[in-house]
Chains A and B, each alone.
Chain A
Amino acid sequence: MTEILVVDDSKVMRDMIVACLRAIQDTSFVHASSGLEAIERLSLAAFDLLVLDLNMPDIGGIEVLEFVRGQDTLRALPVLIVTTRGDEQSRERVLQAGATGFLAKPFTPDSIIAEVRAILADRAESVA
């Protein structure tokens, strides 16, 4: 079973992401509504993918990403950034901070499914 942590302060957006990714079989989802809650959940359980918004209350997505990349036990976790900040500068910034993928909102179900499948396939290859 593939475990995905979906982090966005908007419940509707989290539900949309999960609705899209349900097309990927054998996948379960955990929600987090803030950066702090994401860090708490990452500390409590192992995940195969983190889908992360940038613009959140308390600590933002970039800070969560930096936290993940700074932890020995989390460093290899793939992180897909999903954000309304779709400009090239934001894209470069998050990729430099260690994001595995970047997807601008609005996205289509097909585009996020393709992105997540590619990331999970890469992860499976690197683990094998």
Chain B
Amino acid sequence: MTATADLKEFIAAYLVEAEEHLAVANAQLLAVESAQRKGETNPRAVRETFRSLHTIKGLSAMVGHRTDRRHRASHGDVPARDFDRSGGALPLEAIDALLKGVRAIEQRVLALSRGDSAAEPSDELLTSLDSLGLAAASPAAHGCGHARPRPGYFGQARAVRSRSADARHRCRTARAARRIQPFAVQGRRGPDHQLRA
């Protein structure tokens, strides 16, 4: 039997990928901010921000970073569904807090790459994230080890997720299925290569 993998061996690769995702998160947050200042929304930028932060969160936990409340806030832990369903519009104060949060993650990643110990995220940053309903509550209070979103902007935004958003998801899948039609293998896929309704 092969020896059990040591995931700490992936720290160098983690640092490279984390930096890429941080750059994406920064750029996308600035795109959201730009749209917001014009009175527009940018759902794709919000989604990409969320995706990058969640990837960093998952990778950080896998390579052994602590994920208590303070560290979750500085490793991209935001209530996924609430952020995802914000409708592409974030208040400017939320964008500002998130940009500061991304900066805090950058500092920690940089410190890790140098072999230094990083400064703890400030109480001010945690408080500003808390006030937006982004920072994590005590996992124990929720009972399943995951943060329960607090009431606030994102909690309200969840309620406005519309049927059209679900329909867009289905359309995306259908478009993807149409694109892969030429790849279908005769015999492996029948003529009824259709998505389930």
Which residues of A are at the interface with B, using a C-beta cutoff of 8 A?
Answer: 9-13, 15-16, 19-20, 22-23, 25, 35-36, 39-40, 43-46, 55-60, 63, 66-67, 69-73, 83-89, 104-107, 109-110
Contacts and interface: CB of A to CB of B under 8 A. Distances in A.
Contacts of A57: 48, 51
B114 interface: no
A84 B176 contact: no
Contacts of A40: 180, 183
Contacts of A15: 10, 13
B145 A86 contact: yes
A66 B196 contact: yes
Mostly, the B contact residues are helix
B187 to A, nearest CB: 9
B180 A39 contact: yes
A113 B116 CA distance: 33
Interface of B: 1-5, 7, 9-10, 13-14, 17, 48, 50-51, 54-55, 57-59, 61-62, 67, 80-81, 144-146, 169, 172-173, 176-177, 179-180, 183-185, 188-190, 192-196
B173 A63 contact: yes
B13 A11 contact: yes
A124 to B, nearest CB: 19
With most chain B CB atoms within 10 A of its CB, the pick from A12, A45, A105, A107 is A12
Nearest to A53: B58
A22 B2 CA distance: 7
A16 B62 contact: yes
Given A10-B17, A22-B5, A36-B179, A66 B189 contact: no
A9 B190 contact: no
Contacts of A43: 180, 183-185, 188-189
Contact of B172 (A9, A12, A58, A71): A58
A84 B58 contact: yes
Given A12-B59, A86-B144, A109-B4, 10 more contacts: A23-B4, A44-B185, A45-B185, A59-B173, A67-B196, A73-B189, A83-B58, A84-B80, A85-B54, A105-B62
Chain B CB count within 10 A is highest, among A20, A63, A69, for A63
B13 to A, nearest CB: 5
A40 B176 CA distance: 9
9 contacts: A9-B51, A10-B55, A12-B13, A23-B3, A57-B51, A63-B172, A66-B196, A67-B195, A86-B145
